[in-house]
Amino acid sequence: MNIAQKMTSMASAAILSTALLSATLVPTDTAIAGDHAKKASADIVDTAVGAGSFNTLVAAVQAAGLEQTLRSEGPFTVFAPTDEAFAKLPAGTVETLLKPENKDQLVSILTYHVVSGKVYSKSLAGKTLEAPTVQGTTVAIDGTNGVKVDNANVISADIKTSNGVIHVIDTVIMP
């Protein structure tokens, strides 16, 4: 993807996140998000670390070299798989992805979980759409019966961070 395409994709994401801000709010599960959800002063990475249920995701973000990006200003919307979501993958998958020689594949998978801008669940209620991901492709979002992202259910929504929002999902989604 060239720089013009990437900028168009990011602009589309910004327009998408602005256009989608309207409808009903899905409550946040602060038990999953930890105390960081109340403060919104921690960035995406610190919020995930503080929650204690994203150890695999944090390790993958670090192995992929994406930690500084997810600490940057953003804003980002992250569909964050829990440790249990990663445990559903076939045996050995996580270990294989964390190897240095598989970094490009890991980056592709992780950035597929990220949309530019802040997209809150209330803006997704009752809608189906394709949202551009930072990875460069689109992810299917279905807000007609709860919120689904590809084949994953959003189990906790709208966890505010200083540089975006986290939606907790129960399955790792693949590009």
How many residues are listed for the chain in this entry? Answer: 175
Residues 128-153: tens digit of each pLDDT: 999 999 999 999 999 999 999 999 99
Q: Which domain holds residue 135?
A: 3-169
Dig out the tokens for 98 from the structure.
């964390």
| pLDDT reading at 27 higher than 70 | no
The runs of H, that is alpha helices, within 20-131 are 30-33, 36-39, 44-51, 55-63, 67-71, 83-87, 93-97, 103-111
Mean pLDDT score, 15-41 = 38
CA–CA gap between residue 47 and residue 61 (Å, rounded): 13
Dig out the tokens for 66 from the structure.
């994406």
- Name the amino acid, one letter, at 74: G
Q: Specify the range with the lowest mean pLDDT, choosing from 5-14, 62-71, 73-82, 162-171.
A: 5-14
> Is 141 within the bounds of a domain?
yes
The domain that holds 127 is classified in CATH as 2.30.180.10
> Is 97 within the bounds of a domain?
yes
pLDDT at 41: 81
Mean pLDDT score, 112-121 = 95
Q: How far is CA 117 from CA 12, 14, 98, in A?
A: 10, 6, 27
Number of domains composing the chain: 1
| pLDDT reading at 174 higher than 50 | yes
| pLDDT reading at 5 higher than 60 | no
- Name the amino acid, one letter, at 143: G
pLDDT at 40: 62
